[in-house]
Amino acid sequence: MAYSDKVLDHYSNPRNVGSLDKNSSEVGTGLVGAPECGDVMKLQIKVNPQTNVIEDAKFKTFGCGSAIASSSLATEWVKGKTVDEALQIKNTEIVKELSLPPVKIHCSVLAEDAIRAAIHDWKKKQDVAKPATVAAQ
Amino acid sequence: MSTDVKTIPQAEHVAPDGVKLPVYMDNHATTPMDPRVLEEMLPYFMEKFGNAASRNHSFGWAGEEGVETARERVAKLVGATTKEIIFTSGATESDNLAIKGVAEMYKEKGNHIITAVTEHKAVLDTCKRLEKYGYRVTYLPVQKDGLVDLEDLKRAMDDKTILVTIMWANNEIGVLQPVAEIGKLCRERGIIFHTDATQAVGKIPVDVNKNNIDVMSISAHKMYGPKGVGALYVRRKNPRVQISAIIDGGGHERGMRSGTLNVPGIVGLGKACAIASEEMAKESCKLAGLRNRLRDKIMGGLDEVYINGSWEHRLPGNLNISFAYVEGESLLMGINDIAVSSGSACTSATLEPSYVLKALGTGDDLAHSSIRFGLGRFNTEAEVDYVADRVVETVSRLRELSPLYEMAKEGVDLKSVKWAAE
């Protein structure tokens, strides 16, 4: 299979590889996929509590080159966006940017899922945190 | 606490002295032709182009002579007689002819066929087709090491069993089945034993008499011969085996395989067999040495690397390993100056990981992480060292990228994780 130049670039020089502290209230973690299916993505975001802007994003991916590229691209795209803006990212945009062939579309779907899962995790933490703060006051 | 991983960008690789890139290490898929084979074939394209079936002029005689010399060479390599060798277009045709030919010829006697789940698709899909025509097929499981359990085989045999078809050497994991014992069990019960010996002939000693083989598939391009040519061994006595043709026509090859003979290809197959007869013993020692060196270097540089299939009963040139926490296709991408195969679903047309590895009980996760190295006649020690270094470096890089590796290092039991699969 021939890979697009952008997939090769992300594979060879992946952006934002690493981990954020998953216990921090500012961090949301998304872990999607399954080893049996050959793809697991972990995408983390660090959100500014005042502005809701995603200030940092990290990923780690077990999967084919297209899966690595999709998640690497996803971290680039979410950085600097608010969580609501990040939720607007569609897998089809990832497909277009990376010129993924039809058999690799599931990689882009997984990347979109990873973004949503990370934001969902972060939102859950905010819901828990707020009443607690009120109670403390 | 955040961790930043500085992944080393994939470097441009410079071939060390004596290594020409890309390195070919996929000799179970096909082998390059030996130059001596090509040399032997060349006259049969232009000068000796005659139809081997033309009996009344010198052009035909020259073609026939080339074919008969080849037949002797093939027969000699496997301990057969010349009348027992039928030329075909390759091992897929040989498997089809053997299985369908026996099934039709012996249908009055019974309708039961036994095979194994790790067979090549040429055998499995042929058996599946026969099921549509009313034949009953038993697909034997294999043990963790890839070997068929002879007790399972005995239990599967009944008075309607006409054929057992079990491969000699597996194309993915290189595991060698106990063919002599299987043949003996078949012989005792009057059942015909076919073996797909595509990966075995020319690599390890193959003797149809010592190993109790009745019908055997042979391919040229797996042993440094040309593509598009193969042979089927069909036993003539003790017992005499008959098969029905599946290609009808001019009655070539004693009526078992009609069609004008591929004379240059057959000459090439013959030469490949002649070379194997001479050099196999020495070559298999060299290949096993290179293969062991590759294994030792890879396993010395990485943890959590698993060999798939029996180590003891294995082709000398085969190494099939799973690299935990790394997906096979991404690994192939990282070692793109090395030609090998992966059992990962991403590299197959079906999006399923290797059915052979699954049959061994290898989890889907490790099947996705497997790489098959197939060493051959033209591989060198310098190539092995280069490949081992590149594999260790790429697996290490991809593990730094792998959430599974990170979780495993944190002590998470990956089996107990509830995965949010799609």
CA torsion, ordered B352, B326, B330, B339, to nearest 10 deg = -90
Beta strand B3-4 with B230-234 is unpaired
Which residue in B86, B124, B66 sits closest to B247, CA to CA?
B86
User: Which of B4, B346, B353 is opposite residue A64, by nearest beta carbon?
Assistant: B346
CB A60 to CB B420 under 8 A?
no
Say which of A35, A68, A113 has its CB closest to residue B404: A35
Chain B residues with CB inside 8 Å of A31's CB? 403, 420
Distance in Å, alpha carbon of A93 to nearest chain B alpha carbon:
20
Residues in chain B: 422
Q: What is the pTM of this model?
A: 0.92
Q: Which residues of B are part of the catalytic machinery? A: 346
Percent of chain A with pLDDT over 70: 93
DSSP label at residue A81: S
Put simply, whether A28 touches B (Cβ < 8 Å) is: no
For chain B of 422 residues, list the mean pLDDT of each consecutive stretch of 10. Answer: 58 80 96 98 98 96 98 98 98 98 98 98 97 98 98 98 98 97 98 98 98 98 98 97 96 95 98 98 97 98 97 98 94 94 71 88 90 97 97 97 94 86 51
Architecture of domain A5-126: Alpha-Beta Complex (3.90)
- The pLDDT assigned to B353 comes to 85
The DSSP code for B175 is: B
List B26's β-bridge partners, or say none: B374
**Terminal C-alpha separation, chain A:** 60
Q: Token match 């609501």: residue? A: A84
Count Cβ atoms below 10 Å from residue B90 Cβ, excluding itself.
24
Q: Considering only alpha carbons, which residue of chain B is nearest residue A32?
A: B420
Reported as a single tens digit per residue, the pLDDT across B227-264 is 999 999 999 999 999 999 999 999 999 999 999 999 99
pLDDT tens per residue, range A39-64:
999 999 999 999 999 999 999 999 99
Edge-to-edge strand order for the sheet containing B341-342?
B305-307, B318-323, B370-374, B341-342
pLDDT of residue A136: 47
| Domain chopping of chain A, boundaries | 5-126
Q: A132: pLDDT confidence band, cut at 50, 70 and 90?
A: low
Joined together, the tokens standing for residue B208 give 């149809």
Q: For chain A, where are the alpha helices, taking DSSP H only?
A: 5-12, 65-78, 83-86, 91-98, 105-136
ipTM of the complex: 0.90
Residue B343's closest CA among B316, B366, B368? B368
DSSP B56: S
- Token reading at B339: 């030609």
Of the candidate ranges A22-26, A34-38, B190-194, the one whose mean pLDDT is the lowest: A34-38
Per-residue pLDDT tens over the stretch B141-187: 999 999 999 999 999 999 999 999 999 999 999 999 999 999 999 99
Q: How far apart are CA A111 and CA A108, in angstroms?
A: 5
